[in-house]
Each structure stands twice: as C-alpha cells, then as structure tokens.
Amino acid sequence: MKIRLWGWLLPVLLLFSGIGKAEGGTKQIREVEDAIAIIQEFSKIPENQIPPSLLRNSQAIAVIPGVIRIGLIIGGDYGAGVVSVRDKSGYWTNPAFITLAGGSIGFQIGAQSTDIILVFKSIRNVDEITAGKFTLGADASVAVGPVGRYAVAGTDFELNAEVYSYSRTRGLFAGVSIQGAALEIDYDSIAEFYGNTQIGARDIFETPDLSAPQVAADFRQVLTEQTRR
C-alpha cells in the first residue's frame, strides 16, 4: 500500500515543483545559482550561520533549494539540488545533481517551500549515495544542526551524527528534522548540465578538470570561501 501511494504521489510532486526537463541545462544552471545564493544567505547573520568549525571538517555539502510539501490524502516532500565533496587533495568538486523525497521533514507550520543544506561529516555517506538510494536516519545518523559562529555542542555535534541539516523558510533560518528522507543521484540533470549522458556522480567527483558551465566553478569557490573561514 505504501509503495502504491508513493507511486501515485510522486508524479503530483513533480508537477507542482515544476521539475520538467529544461532545454540546454537551463534548469540545472538555475539550481546551482540558487544553491550559491542559499549558502551565501546562511553566512550573512552570525547567530544563524552554520558553525565554521563544522564546515571546516565537512566532507560533503548538499544544497536542496525549494523543497516543497504537498498534502493531499497523504503528505509528501520533494526537492532537487546539488552535492559537492572534498576530493583527495581537499578541494571541492564540481556539483552532482540529487533529488530528495519522502521522509518526515520538519517544516514550519504553513510552509510551502524550504531551502535545505546538509553537511556531511563522512565521505562514506556520499559513496553510499552514489551507489543508490540513501535514506537519512537509516543509512546515516542525522541531526538538526547547531547554529551560530560560536556554537559548540555538548551534544552529538561532536560525537555521533554523520549528517547535520539546516533550513531557510520564508527568510527564517533554523535546523530542520529530516528523518527518513531519501537522496538519489539525478542522472538526467547531470547529463543536461555536463552535456554528457555517459557520466555519473562518481565521474564528477573524481575528475577535477571535467568540462562544466562557469556556474560550477562559482559554486566551488563559494564552498571554498565558507569552509576556510
């Protein structure tokens, strides 16, 4: 029954989120531009920013702009975004495209669209994402991220969680519960953005000189600036 419900709900989510295929990778370029803007917005207000110490020790960062919630007979969440990882030399890679669906995402009451950032402490989790569907809370422990320049936690911030989640809804910044949400590689968007149907996420992460639109370099630069603070 659950599989049938999701099989019916997902097309509705796709329709409302406007994620139809775009020509020439235009949609994907906008997604990367939105991801850049979201990262920059999070850094503007010190008391709401992701702690620099967490960013400096991160192994991957995913940004999913405009995750939507639609409530019909059952509720559902869907978003599309990008993920970048640190390569063996410590530099950020070009973005790979991902989707986020399902789960129990802690939206604020009345929210229809939420920007989400996921900070990964372990590269192992990204390897699992590239291998197939990856479920937050099941395949990796996930916690609401601490905020503020001086946020130190006597919590699992330094102990247990592998992934930390942050959100921005209607200009408000906070941690967000994202248990049970599934992340998957979006191969169609990768093909559109890079103009190559033969590459996958692992190729992107392991090929520093991969040809890509300028916005990919802009995204890497913003990540570098934020994680070196």
pLDDT of 74 reads 46
Number of Cβ atoms within 10 Å of the Cβ of 109: 4
Query: Looking at the predicted structure, is the pLDDT value of residue 82 above 80?
Result: yes
Could you write out the DSSP letters of every residue in 127-192? Answer: HHHHHS-EEBTTTB-EEEPP-STT---SSTTTTT-SEEEEEEETTEEEE--EET-EEEE-HHHHHH
pLDDT mean over 54-68: 89
pLDDT of 214 reads 95
Tell me the per-residue pLDDT of 22-34, one tens digit each, with 9 for 90 and over.
344 789 999 999 9
pLDDT of 21 reads 41
36 vs 162, higher pLDDT: 36
Number of Cβ atoms within 10 Å of the Cβ of 180: 15
pLDDT of 96 reads 96
pLDDT of 152 reads 47
Q: Mention every residue, 6+ apart, whose C-beta is less than 8 A from residue 191.
A: 197, 199
pLDDT grade, residue 44 (50/70/90)?
A: confident
Query: Looking at the predicted structure, is the pLDDT value of residue 11 above 70?
Result: no
pLDDT mean over 168-191: 79
Task: For residue 57, give its domain range.
Answer: 2-227
Tell me the per-residue pLDDT of 186-228, one tens digit each, with 9 for 90 and over.
999 999 999 999 999 999 999 988 999 999 999 999 999 988 8
Query: Looking at the predicted structure, is the pLDDT value of residue 2 above 60?
Result: no
Q: Please tell me the number of Cα atoms within 13 Å of 54 on its side-chain side.
A: 29
Backbone angles phi, psi at 138, to 5 degrees: -110, -50
Tell me the per-residue pLDDT of 101-158, one tens digit each, with 9 for 90 and over.
875 555 444 556 788 899 999 888 888 888 877 888 777 787 777 766 545 444 444 5
What is the count of structural domains for the chain? 1
Lowest mean pLDDT among 41-45, 72-76, 157-161, 182-186: 72-76
pLDDT of 213 reads 95
Average pLDDT, rounded, for the chain: 77
pLDDT mean over 156-172: 71
